[in-house]
Amino acid sequence: MLNPVVHAIDQQLTEALLPLHVEDMTRQYWEQGQFLALEHLMPTQLVQEFMQEVERVRPQINRNFIPGHKKGGSVSFYLLQKSAPAILAFYHHQGWMNLLSQIAGVPLLLCPEEDPHSCALYFYTEPGDHIGYHYDTSYYKGERFTVLLGLRDQSSSRLVCRLHTKEPDREVKELSLRTEAGTYIFFNGDKLHHAVTPLGAAEERIVLTLQYVTNPSMGMAQRWFSNMKDAVGYFGWSALFRKPNR
């Protein structure tokens, strides 16, 4: 039985799906090399609910810095699991997962609970916060898909994307996007080359990220590499040793 707050969020999330045109979204996704960005897709009321939880976990941000590659703050799945029921309800929402599965043309599953990235917040709050060009590489045996939901963007930062880098017969297309509150982005992590440009002074940008996979198993070597990357680049060493709540 869902608690009443989560139940209300769940209903709002279901209603938010009603006006969406799955066929249009699917066409756009494939035309853009498995990438889709829709401005202000998520209703303001839901974004506000999520932001209340963001403010609750903000004191627990883990700041990270990899010279030449990234600088910023993160809050992992483990913390959200304890303190952010509305955000978790979004990650787990079957209707939204079905939508993504339809668009991607393959059934999508939640990441294992051991993955601190599965549902996480990225905070760009200090001047120069950024991330360099990368793919959201899958260390899983299946493919990995990323959702980004803009929660706040009072910044000059841009999500810059290079589409079609792995399609030899297509010209690379560059995009530069704001991720304002409610903007919803979905892509295949191994296909989209992307970065976030540096934050200016007195600016702030907060993004929720969700990860889905087609096969949640992972080889031991891949698990080790993935853990190291997360500890150094995102959530700190404590996240490595923190067992998720069951």
**Residue 148 or residue 231: which is nearer to Fe ion going by CB?**
148
Task: Give the span between the Cα atoms of 60 and 57, in whole angstroms.
Answer: 6
Does 136 engage in binding with Fe ion (CB under 5 A)? yes
Q: From the CB of 95, what's the least distance to Fe ion, in Å?
A: 25
**Residue 87 and residue 53 in contact, taking contact as beta carbons nearer than 8 Å:** yes
Residue 130 makes CB contacts below 8 A (sequence gap 6+) with: 70, 71, 72, 124, 157, 195, 196, 197, 198, 199
**Among the residue ranges 9-17, 58-66, 95-103, 131-139, the one whose residues contact Fe ion (CB under 5 A):** 131-139
The CB-nearest residue to Fe ion is 136
Q: From the CB of 194, what's the least distance to Fe ion, in Å?
A: 6
Does 230 engage in binding with Fe ion (CB under 5 A)? no
**Residue 85 or residue 142: which is nearer to Fe ion going by CB?**
142
Does 10 engage in binding with Fe ion (CB under 5 A)? no
Nearest CA to 121 among 185, 176, 78?
Answer: 78
User: What's the distance, CA 84 to chain centroid?
Assistant: 15
How many residues lie near Fe ion (CB under 5 A)?
Answer: 1
Q: From the CB of 70, what's the least distance to Fe ion, in Å?
A: 10
Q: From the CB of 207, what's the least distance to Fe ion, in Å?
A: 10
Does 53 engage in binding with Fe ion (CB under 5 A)? no
Task: Give the span between the Cα atoms of 6 and 86, in whole angstroms.
Answer: 6
Does 49 engage in binding with Fe ion (CB under 5 A)? no
Q: At 71, which helix (H) or strand (E)?
A: strand 70-75
Q: Which chain residues interact with Fe ion by CB under 5 A?
A: 136
